[in-house]
Amino acid sequence: MKLRELVKKFNLEVKCAADRLDRKIEGGYVSDLLSDVIANGRAGDAWVTLQVHQNIVGVASLKDLAAIIIINGRQPEENTIEKAENEGIPIMVSKMSAFELVAGLCSAGISGTR
């Protein structure tokens, strides 16, 4: 599935890097500990988190993640959006909780294992 389809299907609010939505999602990962994402995230993952700090962009960039999805309608900090725009990392906001969103992603065929 491409990011663009994901945005539509889950009614995500795209906060930045809207020109990068043609990337294919290879899998998914959910964690709020950035050290854990550095250890276990994989290239092409859609990363589901509640963290809004600018370091999420650094981690996504380091691990070549496809996108960051922030849950519970939490809004990323301004410098986070700015940084993500510069680095070309799409950040999307979902109104759903992590539990609901991940369940939806799994039903849509996005897997946590490869």
Partner 1 sequence: MLGWLRGDLHIHTCLSPCADSTMLPMAIVKEAKRNNLQMIGICDHNSIENVEAVKKAGEREGLAVMGGVEIASQEEVHILGFFDEETSLWDIQDVLYENLSGENDEDVFGKQLLADEYDRVIGSNKRLLIGATRLPVEGIVHLIHRLGGLAIASHVDRESFSIISQLGFIPGGLTLDALEISSLASREKRYALSQRYNFPLLTFSDAHSLKSIGRSFSSFLIEEPRFEEVKRALMGDKGRRVSIE
The site for partner 1 (CB under 8 A) is made up of 32-35, 37-38, 51, 53-55, 58-59, 77
- Residue 62 three-state SS: helix
Single-letter amino acid code for the residue at 104: G
Q: What share of the chain is helix, strand, coil (3-state, %, to 5)?
A: 40, 20, 40
Q: How far is the CB of 76 from partner 1 (least distance, A)?
A: 11
CB nearer to partner 1: pick between 97 and 108: 97
Single-letter amino acid code for the residue at 23: R
Distance CA 22, CA 98 (A): 23
Q: How far is the CB of 36 from partner 1 (least distance, A)?
A: 8
Q: How far is the CB of 89 from partner 1 (least distance, A)?
A: 14
CB nearer to partner 1: pick between 54 and 97: 54
